[in-house]
Amino acid sequence: MPNLKETVSYRLSKAQTALDTALESGDGDTTELRAAVAAAKHDMEAVAAEGAAAQEAAAAEIEAQMIDQANHEVEVATDQLHAQISELAAIALPEIDFPVGVAINVQRAGYMLQAARETESAASERHDGLQQRLQALQSARQTIINRRAAGTVDDQADKADLALADADIEGLQPLIESAVADLQQAQAASHEAQKRFDQTLAQWSGALSTEQQRVLAVLGDSVDRALTRVAALVTERRGMSVTGYRPSPELRQMLSRF
């Protein structure tokens, strides 16, 4: 069964939807609907604090999921790097230490970006709908004005219709202003979320590159020591004229660049 907050939230949503529908359709007096919205908002404020624990639990669950995903990304990257260096030499593989915190930041930034995009989409849809409703009201109002100017209709009826149109247009203004502000805020938040996501991706890419370079340096030292040991053993056994292993021309050319 729904809890108190869900019940009140449903009442508020239903009342607000009814009011918005009435404003958009232009049907009937909106006084009672506005009173219902005000009452639901008052009740919602009274029980809002009760949802804090549930929100914290949901946030904790999301955080755990992001950490799990980040750990998975680290495991995949580690396996890939192990496979890469295994092809270079059959020696003990260096320890790999990718920064889990950076990977977590990527997951968190991706989650925030998705949420920001969804919020922006909803704000844009609401803004466009209200603008369309305003245009429809303005068009209907102008039609009434044109009919009255022509003097071909019931003046009393048109006065009432015109007054209602004006009232609904006036009622839409704060909704539109709120929608514009919400859309601008959502767009700004989406832009910042995208910027943050790009930054965390760049940080993760840099962390991958740094760790790869570190591991390759360790691997190079290991290979260097192994080659030195091999060369020393060959020289010891065969004298100064080494007829066994010799560095390949490719290796000598590469080493000359250091």
DSSP string, 15-55: HHHHHHHHHHHT-S--HHHHHHHHHHHHHHHHHGGGGHHHH
pLDDT at residue 173 greater than cutoff 70: yes
Q: Which residue has the higher pLDDT, 24 or 178?
A: 178
Task: Determine the pLDDT at residue 175.
Answer: 93
pLDDT tier, 174 (very low <50, low <70, confident <90, very high otherwise): very high
Sole residue written with tokens 């009342």: 15
CA–CA dist 204, 105 (Å, integer): 9
* pLDDT tier at 1, thresholds 50, 70, 90: very low
Closest CA to 19 of 5, 43, 38: 38
What does the pLDDT look like over 181-190, one tens digit per residue?
999 999 999 9
pLDDT at 197 over 70: yes
CA distance linking residue 109 with residue 200, whole number of Å: 7
Q: Where are the domains of the chain?
A: 4-255
Q: Above 90 in pLDDT, residue 251?
A: no
- Residue 243 pLDDT > 60: no
